[in-house]
Chains A and B, each alone.
Chain A
Amino acid sequence: DIVLTQSPDSLAVSLGERATINCKSSQSVFYSSNNKNYLAWYQQKAGQPPKLLIYWASTRESGVPDRFSASGSGTDFTLTISSLQAEDVAIYYCQQYYSTPLCSFGQGTKLEIK
């Protein structure tokens, strides 16, 4: 089973500052035949369902602000919010789908305002 470990578990960042969340996989989620990393990122605000932010490790979903970006390959991935806004307070999850039809989530990172 692929285990995703996010760090940190919680993070407090000042408004306008950069926030960085990491996701480390227990094995590579890069599929060489199509040159894709099978990893997505979600945002979950309090009392709401999750929302897709990023897929294929770095492709931003339509409508997601461009202050959200993601990078990484193989086993190490990063979600970056370039300039934190108040509405970005949420829990962020990474998800791997390399083991399709199975998949798994990281434990989540709680992002707050400092």
Chain B
Amino acid sequence: EVQLVESGGALVQPGRSLRLSCAASGFTFDNYAMHWVRQAPGKGLEWVSGINWNGGTIAYADSVKGRFTISRDSAKNSLYLEMNSLRPEDTAFYYCAKDASGLHLFYFDYWGQGTLVTVSS
């Protein structure tokens, strides 16, 4: 059974940093692209960042480019999101999502339960 478990969400002040983690199990992590998708409370879905199977393709939404960094660790079957210079508008549930593809960034066939990031003074 595919499982994606996010952690690291917290209440942080504007301008500070935070690192999210996603522990993956139930599939061969190395074979699939992975993503972060966020959802502000009561709002719609916003794709944040994606990384293909070998890290050769990495992409970011314009809203986070230059502030967020996605990475993966095959030894730990984990996906990460390093978030710097956080802003109040970054407040959201952050979902880890598995791509159906390995090489390309396409669509999301499994999602974690999400972790809440709140940016407020």
Contacts and interface: CB of A to CB of B under 8 A. Distances in A.
Interface residues of A: mostly helix, strand, loop or mixed?
Answer: loop
Contacts of A50: 37, 45, 95, 108, 111
Interface stretch (A73-81, A82-90, A102-110): A102-110
A93 B97 CA distance: 15
B114 A97 contact: no
The 10 closest A-B CB pairs, nearest first, are A101-B59, A49-B111, A40-B107, A101-B105, A105-B45, A108-B44, A97-B106, A100-B105, A52-B109, A55-B107
28 contacts: A40-B107, A40-B108, A42-B45, A42-B108, A44-B45, A49-B111, A49-B113, A50-B95, A50-B111, A52-B107, A52-B110, A55-B100, A55-B107, A95-B45, A95-B47, A100-B104, A100-B105, A102-B61, A102-B105, A103-B47, A103-B50, A103-B105, A104-B47, A105-B44, A105-B47, A106-B44, A107-B44, A108-B45
